[in-house]
Structures are given as structure tokens and as C-alpha cells.
């Protein structure tokens, strides 16, 4: 008996109100525990696709299924459940950190899901431990470095115990040490990861599988190494490995 994928996207198409067609029929299946890089040029539809995973964009054509549940933006209770299953870490951590302390930021989501008292504290501490930030629990987020704030942003999502962790350009603006620390954290998580990135070496380091989205459709889905070795494929979709990077 085949196991049900943790994420299933079928024939997903989407146009913005101004008529700009961003997705033309995306099909994608991701199994539990996979780490998949979502690659593609600017304007390919990557962010639009990600915004469908937890109902930020309503599904106008096709369907999205998370952990066996269809994403339906008209089903308010269902969307709340989906948003606890699909955690999105945005490119700018300051979009997610707005409370007086790190601990309060991490507690925000679980508190709104009904957790209180010792159980809430345990979930917060667990999430901060996963990203190596427990000693900063009582600090204001704006006192942290950019890399530390990104790790706290990851913790705010992990505190919700999601099925899928979606990261938008996780390595952007990180110094080499912060980049390595985040990679170590992501490798240690036993969770399905979808990583939107232009950073091909980071995709190679963290994701065995990569998907290229270009022109609103998936044009490649293969082992990351096979995709990165295909110079013609990369060039035709405006993707480049850094000079001197060897597979």
C-alpha cells in the first residue's frame, strides 16, 4: 500500500487580480521527511506557490493537499489547522518577530492555538533548544544579530509542531558562520522541508531532491546533484552555480 504524500499539489493554476498568470498547472508530490529545494528564476512563481500551501492564496484551480487534508480557504477551521501544519519562515525574520522578547515571539503561535502554563513553556523551550537560542529567551529580538533572528523565526514556526517547514531564501544575508549554523540546525530536524532558494550550493548541501519552477510550471524534478550538473538546464532557467563551486 502506497503511503500518502505529506504534500500533494495537483494542476494548480493561479492568476492575480490584475490578470498576471503566475502558475499554469503545477503538479508536485513530497513525502514525509523529504528535504526538497524549490529553485527557479525571479518571477517564476515560487512565492505564489508557497502562499498556496497554507491558504494565504486561495486555490482557484487545481488542489493542494497537506497531510491528507485539502487546503480550502473558505473553511476557516480547516485553514487554522492547515496553518499549524505548514510553517513558513519568511526571508526577512523581522516580518515574524514583533513581541518584546524572543520567548514571547516563540510562544505567540502556540498560545493562539490554546496552549497555556507549563505546557506552553515546555513547547517554547523545546523550539528554542532546537535552534540553539534558549539562552536568548528573555532578550528583545532587535538586540540579536540577523542570523540569530532568523534562527528565532525558525523557532516560532517549529513551536507549532508543523508537518512541513517552508523556508524562503534561508541563507540570504547570512555570514558564513551563521549559514553553517543554520544548515546544521535544518539537517538535525526530523521534518519535511521545502526550501525556496537561489543559493544552489545550499540546496546541494541540504536537499537531496530539487524542483525547478519556471514560467509557472515545473520544468525539472530530480536529485539535486543531477540538476546542478545539467548546465544547459540551469542556463535556460537563469540559474548559475558560483564560480569555483565543484560538485
Q: Structural domain boundaries of the chain?
A: 7-236
Q: Which cell numbers in the block locate residue 83?
A: 496553518
What pTM value is reported for the model? 0.92
pLDDT tier at 71, thresholds 50, 70, 90 = very high
Distance (Å, rounded) from C-alpha 199 to C-alpha 197? 5
CA of residue 208 relative to chain centroid, distance: 16
Give the burial class of 145: count Cβ atoms within 10 A of its Cβ; 0-12 exposed, 13-18 middle, 19 or more buried: exposed
Q: Which pLDDT tens digit goes with each residue over 173-226?
A: 999 999 999 999 999 999 999 999 999 999 999 999 999 999 999 999 999 999
Nearest alpha carbon to residue 160 among 58, 104, 60, 86: 86
- Asked whether 163 and 88 are in contact (CB, 8 A), the reply is no
Q: Which pLDDT tens digit goes with each residue over 91-131?
A: 999 999 999 999 999 999 999 989 999 999 999 999 999 99
Q: Given this structure, which CATH class describes domain 7-236?
A: alpha beta
Does 88 score more than 90 pLDDT? yes
Nearest alpha carbon to residue 245 among 150, 37, 234: 234
Q: Which cell numbers in the block locate residue 116?
A: 497555556
Tell me the mean pLDDT in the region 155-183. 94
What residue has cell string 516563540?
A: 106
pLDDT of residue 1: 41
Amino acid at each position: 500500500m502506497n503511503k500518502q504524500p505529506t504534500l500533494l499539489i495537483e494542476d494548480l493554476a493561479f492568476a492575480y487580480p490584475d490578470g498576471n498568470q503566475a502558475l499554469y498547472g503545477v503538479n508536485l508530490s513530497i513525502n514525509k521527511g523529504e528535504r526538497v529545494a524549490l529553485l527557479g528564476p525571479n518571477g517564476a512563481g515560487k512565492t505564489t506557490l508557497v502562499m498556496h500551501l497554507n491558504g494565504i492564496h486561495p486555490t482557484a484551480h487545481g488542489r493542494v493537499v497537506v497531510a491528507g487534508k485539502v487546503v480550502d480557504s473558505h473553511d476557516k477551521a480547516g485553514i487554522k489547522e492547515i496553518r499549524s501544519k505548514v510553517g513558513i519562515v519568511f526571508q526577512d525574520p523581522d516580518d515574524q518577530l514583533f513581541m518584546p522578547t524572543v520567548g514571547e515571539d516563540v510562544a505567540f503561535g502556540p498560545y493562539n492555538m490554546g496552549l497555556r502554563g507549563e505546557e506552553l513553556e515546555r513547547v517554547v523551550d523545546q523550539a528554542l533548544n532546537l535552534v540553539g537560542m534558549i539562552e536568548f529567551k528573555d532578550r528583545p529580538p532587535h538586540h540579536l544579530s540577523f542570523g540569530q533572528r532568523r534562527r528565532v523565526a525558525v523557532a516560532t514556526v517549529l513551536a507549532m509542531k508543523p508537518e512541513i517547514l517552508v523556508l524562503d531564501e534561508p541563507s540570504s544575508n547570512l555570514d558564513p558562520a551563521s549559514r553553517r549554523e543554520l544548515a546544521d540546525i535544518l539537517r538535525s530536524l526530523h521534518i519535511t522541508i521545502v526550501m525556496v532558494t537561489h543559493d544552489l550550493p545550499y540546496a546541494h548541501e541540504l536537499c537531496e531532491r530539487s524542483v525547478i519552477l519556471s514560467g509557472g510550471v515545473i520544468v525539472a524534478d530530480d536529485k539535486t546533484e543531477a540538476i546542478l550538473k545539467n548546465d544547459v538546464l540551469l542556463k535556460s532557467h537563469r540559474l548559475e552555480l558560483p564560480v569555483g563551486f565543484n560538485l
